[in-house]
Amino acid sequence: MAKLYFKYGAMGSSKTAQALMCKFNYEQKGFKVYIFKPIVDNRKVIDGKSVIYSRIGLSSSCNEFDKVFSFLDYKNSHIKDVEKSVIIVDECQFLTKKQVEELKDISQTLPVICYGLLTNFKTELFEGSKRLVELAESLQEIKSICRCGRKATINARLSNGKILLEGEEILIGGDECYEGLCYSCYKKLVDSKAN
């Protein structure tokens, strides 16, 4: 169904794997899938092509977007059959407010499915995530667990096991930089840093 979906979760919740499984499912049914990731996520390039890659080994070539990319222009020039097309955006927290608004407009004629983080390591909403919460018809949390077994809701930035509370909002990385934690475990790390 044509609408704007936002599927979010903490670090390690399988967002990218689910995006790739969603792509496969649509392709299996004969849909053309246009999958995107932000250009700042430069972790995976194979043979000079951008790739979306999940920690469990799923991958796909993809399109990239930056802060000035126009999804509307892309749709108008590349997507001919809106009845059998889908747009999937991975790491959608890096979208701008304007890009989310463009995706909302596009979702009036074809499904747009966004996967990403809700909040940054400072527990604040990303610009793209905030606008997606405001505009998406469907919000779905992708759950993951903390090291203690509770639900992970915080994207903690770590260095040598110590929590970082300051720094640039964007630092591309995976398990070496971030860990999904419950609030209780996050608070313990914050309190231990203060002491």
User: Global pTM?
Assistant: 0.91
One-letter amino acid at 24 equals: F
What would the mean pLDDT of 22-39 be, rounded to a whole number? 96
Q: Where are the domains of the chain?
A: 4-142
Cβ within 8 Å of residue 14, ≥6 positions away = 54, 56, 142, 144
Q: What tokens appear for 150 in the block?
A: 């509770």
Would you tell me how many other CB atoms lie within 10 Å of the CB of residue 98? Answer: 15
Q: Which CATH number fits domain 4-142: 3.40.50.11540, 3.40.50.300, 1.10.8.60, 1.20.120.140?
A: 3.40.50.300
Q: For residue 55, give the DSSP letter.
A: T
Check if the beta carbon of residue 9 is closer than 8 Å to that of residue 142: yes
Could you read off the pLDDT of 148-185 as tens digits, one per residue? 999 999 999 888 878 888 777 776 665 567 899 999 99
Pick the closest to residue 163 from 147, 148, 179, 183 (CA basis): 179
One-letter amino acid at 10 equals: A
User: Would you please indicate which residues are annotated as catalytic (active-site) residues?
Assistant: 91
Pick the closest to residue 4 from 107, 110, 89, 154 (CA basis): 107
* Confidence at residue 195, expressed as pLDDT on a 0 to 100 scale: 65
Could you read off the pLDDT of 43-58 as tens digits, one per residue? 665 566 788 888 888 8
Work out the pLDDT band at 31, boundaries 50, 70, 90.
Answer: very high
Could you read off the pLDDT of 48-88 as tens digits, one per residue? 678 888 888 888 989 999 999 999 999 999 999 989 999 99
Does the structure show a pLDDT above 90 at 191? no
